[in-house]
């Protein structure tokens, strides 16, 4: 049985649509996080803020830090999705960078930015 060396143009088109939808949703989430960061930064110096104790100030800072981390992760996710679009354009999308075999469609639907097959990912985790 011979294995396909790459996905068909039709398959790549389907994956591209899926990834573009994920990019739109991720960008929407990122804007939300950025809005929360801006809002909490603008409201930290009001009169009621002066009455808060150091625990509340620390809690607010932790909240902003958590949102900033979420925003950073979202930016990284968008970057990975855009890299997947480039691989689609190059017709290398869905090829495991470790084994050279096709990554299953099921895995790509769940993790469309992945560059590793389940087999390669499991081997990588066992090495760690």
Summarised one tens digit per residue, pLDDT across range 63-112 is 889 999 999 999 999 999 999 999 999 999 999 999 999 999 999 999 99
pLDDT of res. 36: 87
pLDDT of res. 72: 96
pLDDT of res. 84: 98
First vs last C-alpha separation in the chain: 33
Domain hosting residue 80, numbered range: 9-93
Is 28 contained in some domain?
yes
Is 105 contained in some domain?
no
Is 13 contained in some domain?
yes
For residues 23 and 27, what is the distance between their CA atoms, to the nearest angstrom?
Answer: 6
Is 64 contained in some domain?
yes
Is 79 contained in some domain?
yes
Residues with Cβ < 8 Å from 89, sequence gap 6 or more? none
* Residue 2 in this model has a pLDDT that exceeds 50: no
Is 42 contained in some domain?
yes
pLDDT of res. 48: 47
Is 101 contained in some domain?
no
Predicted confidence (pLDDT) per residue in 20-66, tens digit = 999 999 999 999 999 988 876 666 554 444 555 565 666 777 788 99
Is 77 contained in some domain?
yes
How many domains is the chain partitioned into structurally?
1
pLDDT of res. 8: 96
pTM above 0.85, yes or no: no
Token pair belonging to 41: 């930064």
pLDDT of res. 99: 94
């Amino acid at each position: 049985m011979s294995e396909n060396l790459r996905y068909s143009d039709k398959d790549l088109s389907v994956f591209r649509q899926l990834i573009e939808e994920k990019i739109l949703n991720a960008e929407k989430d990122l804007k939300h996080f950025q809005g929360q960061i801006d809002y909490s930064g603008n409201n930290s110096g009001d009169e009621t803020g002066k009455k808060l104790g150091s625990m509340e100030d620390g809690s607010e800072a932790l909240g902003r830090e958590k949102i900033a981390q979420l925003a950073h992760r979202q930016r990284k996710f968008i970057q990975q999705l855009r890299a997947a679009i480039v691989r689609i354009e190059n017709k290398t999308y869905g090829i495991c960078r470790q084994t050279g075999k096709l990554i299953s469609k099921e895995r790509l639907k769940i993790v469309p930015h992945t560059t590793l097959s389940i087999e390669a990912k499991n081997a990588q985790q066992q090495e760690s």
